[in-house]
Structure 1
Amino acid sequence: MEVRIKILFTSICHTDLSAWQGENEAQRAYPRILGHEASGIVESVGQGVTEMEAGDHVVPIFNGECGDCVYCKCEKTNMCERSGVNPFKTVMVSDGKSRFSSKEGNPIFHFLNTSTFSEYTVLESACVVKIDPQAPLKKMTLLSCGVSTGVGAAWNSANVKPGSTVAIFGLGAVGLAVAEGSRARGASRIIGVDINPNKFIKGRAMGITDTINPSEIKKPVHESIREMTGGGVDYSFECAGNLDVLREAFSSTHEGWGLCVILGIHQTPRLLPLHPMELFNGRMIIGSVFGGFKGKSQLPHFAQECMNGVVNLDEFITHELPFEKINEAFQLLVDGKSLRCLLHL
């Protein structure tokens, strides 16, 4: 039930960056091959794999879908008991061993079910999605993580309605994907919040209608948003992985029905900055993993929608480099100069 893929394109997400920098204890298993956003072609399949064959165009997914467990059979979740996202997982399920090794024969560990910073990688078939061979693989790389996570959060987790108001905290690739998804759903007002004003230009091209730079205002962000929207937004999305930002995102939603969706990865042991009684005012807060998409069963349709122009993928690719310049790509992300730097092998 494993698939070997020849990686053609891969890109760097902030999760790769935090793992490289050792910010999360769960990600400190080394040596390890990072990378989880990619596209490629099936090189070979293992015993039991029937839905794919050599030559198929595929994208890897960090949050798999085995199709058989109680989670996969439940329409209310996109979790998977066997192949769901697990930052502590470093080996394959079938035998508890790695498919990578050094020249000396020592194991090199897997990362987020995928490990795409490699010319070839091996994944459980539950973490491989077959897509239309007519779909441009370069663009399909974005569906492995960032775009699916953001657009899916707007479509699946929040179910943004036409004419609604949205606030997005953090305008990286995921935040801008939320904007793109909200625009596609007909949101009337999309407020982008970020301390980097350079992101506002790209944001406006992807659906952002209003911008707020917290460093340039004298009042809390949520107060400004409430004033702008007559009480608060219908939906807010926290994409920064910062609890203080999360507090502002939650408080910016409207009493009675406002929904705050958590997308940022929170590295610290700090807990939610909320008092339970605040939920009695009708505001809600939820988390979203991979945008609520069931990868294998729903991603091919999403890929088709992207091909049809429902979601504009071109705006997300800000740089392209050969894979051997991966260090330059990491630096672009560190400096806040790129959304997605596409690396071609």
Structure 2
Amino acid sequence: MKTRGAVLRQAPGKFEITDLIVDEPRQNEIRVKMVASGLCHSDDHMATGDLPVAVYPVCGGHEGAGIVESVGPNTPGFSPGDKVIFSFLPACGKCRWCSSGHQNLCDLGANVLVGSRWEDPTSFRLQLEDGTPVGQALGISTFSEYTTVAVDSAIKVPDDTPLDKACLLGCAIGTGWGSAVRSGEVEAGDTVLIFGAGGIGSAAVQGAAHAGAARVIVVDPVAFKRDQSLTLGATHAVASAEEGIELAQSFTNGQGADVAIVTVGVITGEHVAQAFSGIRKQGTVVVTALGDATAVGLPISILELTLYEKKIKGSLFGSSNPRADIPKLLDLYNAGYLKLDEMITAEYSLDDINQGYEDMHAGNNIRGVIRF
């Protein structure tokens, strides 16, 4: 069937709204009519080329939710009309990683930047009207009015779920909240430093607060984001890394934060080094942000790494298990503990996607959302 989507024809580049053809769902696939999609910085990393993809054109979007339009043959568990939230990382439930409780590292993730079906790198679910294959961002392409996806990427949710808010559970919330709770293992009474208070950082703030952190210190140069973080669970918000580190040390007899989480828009080694200097002995730096995929090297003291037993951990999707954690986070939202509405600061049409990203770069949004 015909649909419209936002595609990148090259990187660096901007999203272009164009007509697409989306496949009928095969076995273990569903076709979904999109309701909402978050404007995540990761898609902007694709546009700048920081996060290279294998196939152009590529239809963007990986944080979204919608309603099942049709179901492939011999595909149990889904029916037309079901509401689903996408997990930007698939979970097969069978590989070593899924079986050991690390669904975020599922082996199916090997092809997420190829944009093809998992089992066949030459088979694509989207194409241009002239037949040119179009890659799917993370296998789902939530910047399309309709998209066909593997059931490995879809989580069915209750009929009363507000998908225009719950779409954030597909990336921002799980990534940020999990960076604090799962990857950072924040404990009650901890002092936590969070560098960057956009969509991911704001979710990390909530995760740290939910875990019982005594002090959640946000570092962000944008006053609007600092102010918003204080409504989401931050206890302090400052403009510079130096201020944040000094504040953390003042609360800990000069030791530093227990956990530092790096969720800046475009990460460099210097950001990691700043976080590293701000943690105590046996403290943890959680690296969640993305930047230039070719960059290497961290300007940190190896002696300090060894003698202070400091830890630096990468965090993909907040080390979460999406099949378990997305329903759990939805329950937290429904119970009033998790704030989603407050994180959505602007809504856009699909045609205004580039304006949404301009607003993100200008620091005007915590999370912008496309409403279809």
TM tier, smaller = over 0.9
Structure 2: distance between partners of 1:332 and 1:222: 29
Structure 2: distance between partners of 1:116 and 1:189: 36
Aligned residues: 339
> Once structures 1 and 2 are overlaid, which stretch shifts more, 332-341 or 274-283?
274-283
Maintained 8 Å contact 1:158/1:261: yes
Aligned to 2:8: none
Q: TM-score, normalised by structure 1?
A: 0.92
- Superposed, 1:181-200 pairs within 5 Å as 181-200=207-226
Q: Structure 1 pair 253/141, CA: closer, same or farther in 2 (3 Å)?
A: same
Give the deviation of 1:76 after TM superposition. 5.2
Maintained 8 Å contact 1:39/1:138: yes
The code of the aligned residue for 2:356 comes to A
Aligned to 1:229: 252
Q: Structure 1 pair 194/298, CA: closer, same or farther in 2 (3 Å)?
A: closer
Aligned to 1:150: 176
Structure 2: distance between partners of 1:207 and 1:112: 31
Structure 2: distance between partners of 1:264 and 1:254: 21
Give the deviation of 1:220 after TM superposition. 7.6
Structure 1: distance between partners of 2:331 and 2:244: 37
Q: 1:92 aligns with which of 90, 108, 117?
A: 117
Maintained 8 Å contact 2:219/2:238: yes
Aligned to 1:12: 39
Maintained 8 Å contact 1:154/1:160: yes
Structure 2: distance between partners of 1:245 and 1:94: 37
SS of the aligned residue for 1:336 comes to: coil
Aligned to 2:48: 21
Structure 1: distance between partners of 2:325 and 2:247: 37
1:278 aligns with 2:319: no
Aligned to 1:178: 204
Maintained 8 Å contact 1:194/1:214: yes
Give the deviation of 1:23 after TM superposition. 2.8
> Once structures 1 and 2 are overlaid, which stretch shifts more, 29-38 or 46-55?
46-55
The code of the aligned residue for 1:139 comes to K
Maintained 8 Å contact 1:126/1:296: no
Give the deviation of 1:289 after TM superposition. 1.0
Maintained 8 Å contact 2:197/2:366: no
SS of the aligned residue for 2:105 comes to: coil
- Superposed, 1:1-345 pairs within 5 Å as 1-24=28-51, 26-27=52-53, 29-75=55-101, 78-82=104-108, 84=109, 88-96=113-121, 97-214=123-240, 222-223=245-246, 225-230=248-253, 231-240=255-264, 241-255=267-281, 257-267=282-292, 268-280=294-306, 281-345=308-372
The code of the aligned residue for 1:7 comes to M
SS of the aligned residue for 1:20 comes to: helix
Q: Structure 1 pair 134/169, CA: closer, same or farther in 2 (3 Å)?
A: same
Structure 1: distance between partners of 2:318 and 2:92: 18
Unmatched 5+ residue regions in structure 2? 1-27
Give the deviation of 1:242 after TM superposition. 2.4
% identity of equivalent residues: 31
Q: Structure 1 pair 298/51, CA: closer, same or farther in 2 (3 Å)?
A: farther
RMSD over aligned Cα, in angstroms?
1.9
Unmatched 5+ residue regions in structure 1? none
- Structure 1 stretches of 4+ with a deviation exceeding 6 A read none
Q: Structure 1 pair 94/169, CA: closer, same or farther in 2 (3 Å)?
A: same
Q: Structure 1 pair 22/161, CA: closer, same or farther in 2 (3 Å)?
A: same
SS of the aligned residue for 2:167 comes to: helix
Give the deviation of 1:78 after TM superposition. 3.1
Maintained 8 Å contact 1:64/1:85: no
